[in-house]
Amino acid sequence: MQQSQSKGIRAQLKDIKTGFYRKLKYRLLRPAPPPFNGRFSGPVVVVGSAPKSDKPVGLDETYTIFTVNGSQSVASKWGISVPDLTFMMFNQVEGTTTNAQEVRRVLSGTRTKSLYVLLWRRNEIDRLRNGLKAFDYNYDELTIVDRYQRMALLDKVAGLASLELDADSKCSNGMNAVLFALYHGAPAVIICGINPNSAGHIYNGVGLKRHHVDMDRLLIERLVRDGRPLFTADPDVSVRLGIPLWTGSLPS
Domains and CATH numbers, the chain: 33-241 (3.90.1480)
Task: Give the confidence band of 2 by pLDDT, cuts at 50, 70, 90.
Answer: low
Structure confidence by residue, pLDDT tens digits, 160-200: 999 988 888 899 999 999 999 999 999 999 999 998 876 54
- What average pLDDT does this structure show over 219-248? 96
Instruction: List the single range of 23-32, 198-207, 243-252 with lowest mean pLDDT.
Output: 198-207
Answer whether residue 97 shows pLDDT above 60.
yes
Q: Angle between the 173-183 and 213-225 helix axes, to the nearest 10 degrees?
A: 30
Determine what percent of the chain is predicted with pLDDT higher than 70: 91
Average pLDDT value over all residues in the chain:
91
3-state class of 234 per DSSP? coil
Out of 4-8, 132-136, 204-208, the most confident range is: 132-136
* Sign (positive or negative) of CA dihedral 127, 131, 136, 141: negative
3-state class of 207 per DSSP? coil
Tell me the pairing of strands 111-118 and 85-89.
Answer: parallel
For residue 218, give the nearest of 159, 165, 143, 177 by alpha carbon: 159
| 0.85 exceeded by pTM | yes
pLDDT for position 125: 96
Tell me the pairing of strands 111-118 and 138-145.
Answer: parallel
- What average pLDDT does this structure show over 39-49? 95
Tell me how far apart the alpha carbons of residues 124 and 195 are, in angstroms, rounded to a whole number. 33
Answer whether residue 71 shows pLDDT above 70.
yes
Structure confidence by residue, pLDDT tens digits, 139-168: 999 999 999 999 999 999 999 999 988 888
Answer whether residue 206 shows pLDDT above 60.
no
pLDDT for position 70: 94
Answer whether residue 137 shows pLDDT above 80.
yes
